[in-house]
A and B are shown apart, each in its own frame.
Chain A
Amino acid sequence: MITFENVAIDFDNKSVIQGFDLVINKGDKVLFKAPSGKGKSSLLKAVLGFVTLSEGTILIDQIPVTEKTACDLRSKVAYVSQDVDLMPQVARDFIQEVYDYKYNKHLELDNDRLIELMTYYELELSLLDKNIKDFSGGERQRLGLVIAFLLNREILLLDEVTSGLDAHLKSKVFDYVSQSTITAIIISHDEIWINELIKVVNW
C-alpha cells in the first residue's frame, strides 16, 4: 500500500506539485495522468527517496519514506524507467550482481523464471551472454522489465516503459502488469493503459 499525504515537490524554488493526496491499495494499478512538468516522474522518484519532498509524507505499508527507511523500503519496490541505463557488462553478470545486492540477499535467482520472462518479452536467450552496451534501446527496456518482475517486488513503478516498444509488445507488458497481483503506478502516454483494470489519477 502506498500513501501520499499532502505531498509537495519544489525544484529550484518552483513548485512542481502540491497538496497531493492519494491512497493506493495493495494490488491496485494506478495511471498518473497529467501534463509534462507536473511532477509525475518526480512523484515516482520520491517513492524511492530520490526526490525530496518539500512538504508532506509518502508511506509504503504505513512506513514513511525517510533517510533511515528508504534503503529498506526500496526492497519492496521495482522501478523501471523509459531509458534503462546500465553499466557496460554482460547481461547475465548484471542480473547476478543484482542478486548480490544487500537488500536482495534473501532472494535467489530463479533461472527458469528468468527464461520464462525473457521468452515472454521476446528477448533472445543469447542476449544473456551479450554485453548490455550492445543492446538496443528496446532490448534494454525489456531487460529492465524482466529484472523488475524477476525480483518479485510488491510495488512496481513504471515510467514510460512502453513508449519505445511496438504495439504487440506494449500489450504484452499491459497484460502482464494488469493480470498480476502487484501494486503498480504507471506513467504513460500510451492509450493501452486506458483500461477498466487501471485507475486513472488526473491532475
Chain B
Amino acid sequence: MGAKDITYFSLALLGLLILPLMYLNVRFKININKRILYAVARMTIQLTLVGLYLQYIFKWNHIAINILYIVLMMLIASLSIIKSVKLPYKKMLLPIFVAIFIPTMTVLIYFNYVVVRATFLFDATYLITIGGMILGNVLNGIIVGMNSFYNGIVSQEKVYLYRLALGASKSQAKAPYFREAVYATINPTIASIATIGLIALPGMMTGQILGGSDPLVAIKYQIAIMLAIFIVKYLTIVLALWFCSNTMFDGYGRLQIHRKA
C-alpha cells in the first residue's frame, strides 16, 4: 500500500501556480520574488537529496548509521539555534547539543520501546522519522525560549541586577526569566495540542492516511508524537538554560555573553 505516486511533471504543474503570485507581487510592488524562487529551489534540492539518501538509510537500516544520522540532525539543530539566537558557537555548542541530545534520545528510545514496541530499537523507520519531527519542533521552541531568556535579562538588566544586589542568588535572580523562557517554549505546543484536528489536519496524520494507514492508527501516532514533542521541548529548554548558565554568566552574576551584531 501507499499513496499514488505523482510525477515530476505534475509537481512542476503545481509549481506553475506560483507564477500568478509572482505577477501579483510585481503589481503590488512586494519585493519578495527573488526570495520565493530561492526558497522553492532550495526546498526542491534539499528534499530531493534527503529522499535519495533516506532510500539508502532505510535499505541499510544499520544501527550505527541510524544513530549517526540522528546525531547529525541534532548537531545541525544546535548550530541553527546558536546562529538564530546569535550566540558564540565556541562556548554554546556543547551545552546546547547535550541539552538536545539527552531528552531527544531518551524520549525516542522510550517511544520506540514502550509505545511502538519496535523489535529493533534503532529502526530507521521510527528513529529517523519521529526524531526528525521532534527535532524540527524542538528547534523552533528552543530558539523562542533562548531569545526570551536572553532578551528578558538584557531588557530588564537593572531589575535583574537590583535583585542580585538585594541578596538573591544567581538562580533566584534568573528565575523570572527562566520561567518566561520555559513558558514561551511550551506555550505554542500546548495551544496546538488543544486545537489539533479542529483547525488543520496535522502533517503526520495526513501522511499516514495517504500512506494507507487506518485513520485510527494515524491519530494514535499523532497523539504520541505531540506528547513526545511537548516532553522533549520542555526538557530541552530547561537543560539548555541550566547548562548555559555557567557559560552565559560570570561569577558576579552578570550576563557574560554578548550577542553578535
Within 8 A of A (CB), among B145-193: 156, 158-159, 161-170, 172, 176
Contact between B165 and A74 (Cβ–Cβ < 8 Å)? Answer: yes
How many A residues are at the interface, by size bracket? Answer: 20 to 34
Contact between A50 and B251 (Cβ–Cβ < 8 Å)? Answer: no
Q: Is B254 an interface residue (CB 8 A)?
A: yes
- How many contacts A-B (CB < 8 Å)? 69
Contact between A75 and B167 (Cβ–Cβ < 8 Å)? Answer: yes
Q: Is B253 an interface residue (CB 8 A)?
A: yes
Q: Is A115 an interface residue (CB 8 A)?
A: no
Q: Is B252 an interface residue (CB 8 A)?
A: yes
- In this complex, the member of B164, B167, B176, B254 whose beta carbon has the largest number of chain A beta carbons within 10 angstroms is B167
Residues of chain B touching chain A, judged by Cβ–Cβ distance below 8 Å, are 156, 158-159, 161-170, 172, 176, 250-254
Contact between B252 and A147 (Cβ–Cβ < 8 Å)? Answer: no
Given that A74-B164, A79-B162, A87-B176 are contacting pairs, would A50 and B254 also be in contact in the complex, using a CB cutoff of 8 Å? yes
Contact between B170 and A71 (Cβ–Cβ < 8 Å)? Answer: yes
Contact between B251 and A70 (Cβ–Cβ < 8 Å)? Answer: yes
Q: A32-76 CB contact bits vs B (8 Å, 1 = yes)?
A: 000000000000000011101000000000000011101100110
Contact between B172 and A102 (Cβ–Cβ < 8 Å)? Answer: yes
Contact between B169 and A86 (Cβ–Cβ < 8 Å)? Answer: no
Q: Which residues of chain A come closer than 8 Å to B159, judged between CB atoms?
A: 85-87
Residue from B167, B251, B253 within 8 A of A151 (CB atoms): B167
The complex places the Cα of A68 from the Cα of B253 at a distance, in Å, of 11
The complex places the Cα of A77 from the Cα of B254 at a distance, in Å, of 18
Contact between B167 and A102 (Cβ–Cβ < 8 Å)? Answer: yes
Contact between B165 and A79 (Cβ–Cβ < 8 Å)? Answer: yes
Q: Which residues of chain A come closer than 8 Å to B156, judged between CB atoms?
A: 85, 87
Closest approach, in angstroms, between the C-beta of B179 and any C-beta of chain A? 11
Contact between B254 and A101 (Cβ–Cβ < 8 Å)? Answer: no
Q: Which residues of chain A come closer than 8 Å to B158, judged between CB atoms?
A: 81, 83, 85
Q: Which residues of chain B come closer than 8 Å to A70, judged between CB atoms?
A: 251-253
Q: Which residues of chain A come closer than 8 Å to B254, judged between CB atoms?
A: 49-50
The complex places the Cα of A48 from the Cα of B161 at a distance, in Å, of 9
Q: Which residues of chain A come closer than 8 Å to B161, judged between CB atoms?
A: 48, 50
Contact between A85 and B162 (Cβ–Cβ < 8 Å)? Answer: yes
Nearest-neighbor residue (CB-CB) of A100 within chain B: B172
The complex places the Cα of A103 from the Cα of B170 at a distance, in Å, of 11
- Given A49-B253, A101-B168, A103-B169, list of 14 further CB < 8 A pairs? A49-B252, A50-B254, A67-B252, A74-B167, A79-B165, A81-B162, A83-B158, A98-B167, A100-B172, A101-B169, A102-B168, A103-B167, A151-B166, A151-B167
A-B contact pairs, 13 of them (CB 8 A): A50-B164, A66-B251, A67-B251, A67-B252, A70-B251, A71-B164, A74-B165, A84-B162, A85-B156, A85-B159, A85-B162, A101-B166, A102-B167
